[in-house]
């Protein structure tokens, strides 16, 4: 049996694909550098939904924050910069995402973070937050959204905010679910593709 071979040209091309992708972005006034790789969400640039979410988010300098489904870290690391007197927790169920979030925290000299694997809230324990954010995946069951929402509810400090960005087609579901779970809903921005919404835990 003949062993398959790859041409030298194709091998060089594949090697370039294995190298980290690098770029810089200004997010909510903070210039950050990122290293990413193929297989992570939006590896070549910050996606429109995350950028929109950050634009409509209020952050205090001492907020303890959680980025649920952090990817390579654009939301959580921006929050860490905006809240230097708080702790920014970044979690994801993908070990590659966690590896790159840690790389990017180091690359940007951001130290007020905790970055670890967690399937949703499974590894977060009983700690509570002033602000929770998530760029919710579009292609998943509504059961998972309800798990996220109820798990967020019990980990919010009084007065805490929960921000999400979703595809606009999910906006009515999110409105219904937020009112059911949190007792309130605020639509911050509705665009053609994405909608940013917020719920609060009343003090």
- For 144-189, what is each residue's pLDDT tens digit? 999 999 999 999 999 999 999 999 999 999 999 999 999 999 999 9
* Domains, in order of start, for the chain: 25-200 (3.40.50.150)
Looking at residue 144, what is its pLDDT? 93
> Do 134 and 105 contact (CB within 8 A), yes or no?
no
Looking at residue 1, what is its pLDDT? 66
- The closest of 88, 184, 192, 190 to 131, measured between CA atoms, is 88
Looking at residue 203, what is its pLDDT? 76
Burial of 19 (0-12, 13-18, 19+ CB in 10 A): exposed
Cα of 149 vs its chain's centroid, Å: 15
Q: Helix, strand, coil shares of the chain as percentages rounded to 5?
A: 35, 30, 35
pTM for this model (two decimals): 0.92
DSSP character at residue 20: P
Tokens at residue 151, please? 């798990």
| pLDDT-flagged residues of the chain (< 50) | none
CA 104 to each of CA 25, 56, 77, 99, 156: distance values in angstroms, whole numbers, following the listed order: 12, 23, 8, 9, 26
Looking at residue 155, what is its pLDDT? 97
Looking at residue 4, what is its pLDDT? 76
């Amino acid at each position: 049996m003949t062993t398959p071979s790859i041409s030298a040209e194709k091998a060089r091309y594949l090697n370039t694909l294995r190298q980290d992708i690098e770029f810089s972005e200004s997010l909510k006034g903070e210039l950050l550098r990122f290293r990413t790789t193929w297989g992570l969400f939006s590896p070549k640039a910050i996606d429109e939904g995350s950028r929109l979410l950050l634009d409509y988010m209020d952050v205090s300098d001492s907020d303890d924050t959680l980025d649920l489904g952090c990817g390579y870290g654009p939301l959580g690391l921006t929050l860490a910069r905006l809240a230097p007197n708080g702790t920014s927790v970044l979690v994801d169920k993908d070990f590659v995402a966690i590896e790159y979030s840690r790389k990017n925290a180091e690359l940007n000299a951001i130290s007020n973070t905790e970055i670890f694997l967690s399937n949703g809230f499974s590894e977060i324990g009983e700690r509570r937050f002033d602000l929770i954010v998530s760029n919710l995946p579009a292609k998943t069951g509504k059961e998972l959204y309800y798990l996220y929402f109820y798990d967020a509810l019990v980990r919010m400090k009084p007065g805490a905010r929960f921000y999400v960005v979703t595809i606009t087609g999910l906006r009515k579901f999110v409105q219904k679910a937020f009112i059911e779970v949190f007792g309130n809903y605020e639509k911050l921005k509705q665009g053609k593709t994405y909608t940013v919404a917020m719920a609060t835990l009343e003090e």
